[in-house]
Chains A and B, each alone.
Chain A
Amino acid sequence: MSSTPSSDNQRLDQRSAAPVAGHEPGTAGQEPVLSVRRLRVEFPTRHGTLVALDDVSFDIAPGEVLGVVGESGAGKSMTGNAVIRLLEPPGRIAEGEIHLSGKRIDNLPEDEFVPLRGRHIGMIFQDPLTSLNPLFSIGDQLVETIRAHLPMNEREAREEALKLLCEVGIPAPESRLDSYPHQFSGGMRQRVVIALALAARPEFIIADEPTTALDVSVQAQILALLKRLCADHGTAVMLVTHDMGVIAETADRVAVMYAGRLIEIGPVDEVVRNPQHPYTKGLMASIPGITKKLERLYQIEGSMPRLAAIPSGCAFNPRCPHAQKRCRDERPDLMPAEGSRAACWLHDPVDPLPPRQDVEGREVSHVR
Chain B
Amino acid sequence: MCADTAVKPTTAAQGEILLEAHDLARYFDVSKPWLNRVIERSERLTLKAVDGVGFSIRRGETLSLVGESGCGKSTVARLVVGLYGLTRGKLVFDGEDISDLASRTGRQAASVRKRFQMIFQDPYASLNPLWRVGTIIGEPLRFFRPEMSSTDRRRRVGELLEQVGMSAMDANRYPHEFSGGQRQRISIARALANEPEFMICDEPTSALDVSVQAQILNLMRDLQDEYGLTYLFISHDMAVVKHMSDRIAVMYLGRIAEIAPADQLFESPHHPYSKMLLEAVPSLEGAGKERSVIQGEVPNPVHPPSGCAFHPRCPHANARCKAEAPRLIARSDGSEVACHGVEEGRLP
A282 located at the interface, meaning its Cβ lies under 8 Å from any Cβ of chain B in the complex: yes
Chain B interface residue count, Cβ-Cβ cutoff 8 angstroms = 51
Asked if A216 and B280 make an inter-chain contact with CB atoms under 8 angstroms apart, the answer reads yes
Asked if A288 and B293 make an inter-chain contact with CB atoms under 8 angstroms apart, the answer reads no
Asked if A216 and B218 make an inter-chain contact with CB atoms under 8 angstroms apart, the answer reads no
- Nearest opposing residue in chain A for B180, CB measure: A72
- The distance in angstroms between the C-alpha atoms of A181 and B68, with both chains bound, is 21
Asked if A282 and B209 make an inter-chain contact with CB atoms under 8 angstroms apart, the answer reads no
A88 located at the interface, meaning its Cβ lies under 8 Å from any Cβ of chain B in the complex: no
The interface residues of chain B lying within 8 Å CB-to-CB of A354 are: none
B294 located at the interface, meaning its Cβ lies under 8 Å from any Cβ of chain A in the complex: yes
Q: Contacts A223-B282, A249-B282, A269-B288; is A218 near B297 (CB within 8 Å)?
A: yes
The interface residues of chain A lying within 8 Å CB-to-CB of B2 are: 296, 298, 368
B41 located at the interface, meaning its Cβ lies under 8 Å from any Cβ of chain A in the complex: no
Asked if B280 and A220 make an inter-chain contact with CB atoms under 8 angstroms apart, the answer reads yes
Asked if A303 and B181 make an inter-chain contact with CB atoms under 8 angstroms apart, the answer reads yes
Chain B 210-254, CB-CB to A under 8 Å as 1, else 0, gives 111111011001000000000000001011101100000000000
Asked if B283 and A289 make an inter-chain contact with CB atoms under 8 angstroms apart, the answer reads yes
Q: Contacts A221-B293, A268-B288, A368-B2; is A303 near B282 (CB within 8 Å)?
A: no
Q: Report A240-297 residues with CB < 8 Å from chain B CB.
A: 242-246, 248-250, 268-269, 272-273, 282-284, 286-297
The interface residues of chain A lying within 8 Å CB-to-CB of B319 are: none
Asked if B298 and A216 make an inter-chain contact with CB atoms under 8 angstroms apart, the answer reads no
The interface residues of chain A lying within 8 Å CB-to-CB of B130 are: none
A299 located at the interface, meaning its Cβ lies under 8 Å from any Cβ of chain B in the complex: yes
B295 located at the interface, meaning its Cβ lies under 8 Å from any Cβ of chain A in the complex: yes
B45 located at the interface, meaning its Cβ lies under 8 Å from any Cβ of chain A in the complex: no
- Nearest opposing residue in chain B for A169, CB measure: B295
B166 located at the interface, meaning its Cβ lies under 8 Å from any Cβ of chain A in the complex: no
Asked if B243 and A297 make an inter-chain contact with CB atoms under 8 angstroms apart, the answer reads yes
B285 located at the interface, meaning its Cβ lies under 8 Å from any Cβ of chain A in the complex: yes
Asked if A220 and B210 make an inter-chain contact with CB atoms under 8 angstroms apart, the answer reads no
Asked if B69 and A215 make an inter-chain contact with CB atoms under 8 angstroms apart, the answer reads yes
B1 located at the interface, meaning its Cβ lies under 8 Å from any Cβ of chain A in the complex: yes
Asked if A72 and B209 make an inter-chain contact with CB atoms under 8 angstroms apart, the answer reads yes
B6 located at the interface, meaning its Cβ lies under 8 Å from any Cβ of chain A in the complex: yes
- The distance in angstroms between the C-alpha atoms of A188 and B214, with both chains bound, is 32
Asked if A248 and B211 make an inter-chain contact with CB atoms under 8 angstroms apart, the answer reads no
- The distance in angstroms between the C-alpha atoms of A184 and B43, with both chains bound, is 23
B169 located at the interface, meaning its Cβ lies under 8 Å from any Cβ of chain A in the complex: no
B92 located at the interface, meaning its Cβ lies under 8 Å from any Cβ of chain A in the complex: no
The interface residues of chain A lying within 8 Å CB-to-CB of B69 are: 215
The interface residues of chain B lying within 8 Å CB-to-CB of A141 are: none
| Residue from B284, B285, B294, B298 having most chain A Cβ neighbours under 10 A | B284
- The distance in angstroms between the C-alpha atoms of A290 and B66, with both chains bound, is 14
Asked if A289 and B68 make an inter-chain contact with CB atoms under 8 angstroms apart, the answer reads no
The interface residues of chain B lying within 8 Å CB-to-CB of A217 are: 68, 276-277, 280, 294, 296-298
Chain A interface residue count, Cβ-Cβ cutoff 8 angstroms = 48
B167 located at the interface, meaning its Cβ lies under 8 Å from any Cβ of chain A in the complex: no
Q: Contacts A290-B238, A303-B179; is A295 near B6 (CB within 8 Å)?
A: yes
Asked if A249 and B289 make an inter-chain contact with CB atoms under 8 angstroms apart, the answer reads yes
Asked if A220 and B293 make an inter-chain contact with CB atoms under 8 angstroms apart, the answer reads yes
Give the residue of B4, B209, B213, B240 whose beta carbon is less than 8 angstroms from that of A295. B4
Asked if A71 and B211 make an inter-chain contact with CB atoms under 8 angstroms apart, the answer reads yes
A112 located at the interface, meaning its Cβ lies under 8 Å from any Cβ of chain B in the complex: no
Give the residue of B243, B263, B279 whose beta carbon is less than 8 angstroms from that of A288. B243
Minimum distance in angstroms from A183 CB to a CB of chain B: 11
- The distance in angstroms between the C-alpha atoms of A269 and B295, with both chains bound, is 27
Q: Report B297-316 residues with CB < 8 Å from chain A CB.
A: 297-298
Asked if A286 and B238 make an inter-chain contact with CB atoms under 8 angstroms apart, the answer reads no
The interface residues of chain A lying within 8 Å CB-to-CB of B214 are: 286-288, 297-300
- Nearest opposing residue in chain B for A301, CB measure: B1
B35 located at the interface, meaning its Cβ lies under 8 Å from any Cβ of chain A in the complex: no
B3 located at the interface, meaning its Cβ lies under 8 Å from any Cβ of chain A in the complex: yes
Give the residue of B215, B238, B284, B297 whose beta carbon is less than 8 angstroms from that of A185. B297
The interface residues of chain B lying within 8 Å CB-to-CB of A148 are: none
Minimum distance in angstroms from A300 CB to a CB of chain B: 5
The interface residues of chain A lying within 8 Å CB-to-CB of B286 are: 248-249
Asked if B209 and A71 make an inter-chain contact with CB atoms under 8 angstroms apart, the answer reads yes
The interface residues of chain A lying within 8 Å CB-to-CB of B282 are: 216, 219-220, 223, 243, 245-246, 248-250
B124 located at the interface, meaning its Cβ lies under 8 Å from any Cβ of chain A in the complex: no
Chain B 178-220, CB-CB to A under 8 Å as 1, else 0, gives 0111000000000000000000000000000111111101100
- The distance in angstroms between the C-alpha atoms of A308 and B156, with both chains bound, is 34
- Nearest opposing residue in chain B for A216, CB measure: B280
Give the 8 A-B CB pairs with smallest separation, nearest first: A245-B282, A286-B214, A288-B243, A215-B68, A71-B209, A297-B214, A248-B287, A288-B239
Given A296-B3, A297-B214: 12 more A-B contacts, CB < 8 Å: A71-B212, A216-B282, A248-B283, A248-B287, A249-B288, A289-B283, A290-B278, A294-B243, A295-B4, A295-B8, A296-B221, A297-B217
Q: Which residues of A contact B (CB under 8 A)?
A: 71-72, 185-188, 215-221, 223-224, 242-246, 248-250, 268-269, 272-273, 282-284, 286-301, 303, 368
9 example contacts (A-B, Cβ-Cβ < 8 A) are as follows A186-B297, A217-B298, A221-B294, A242-B209, A245-B284, A286-B213, A286-B214, A288-B217, A299-B214
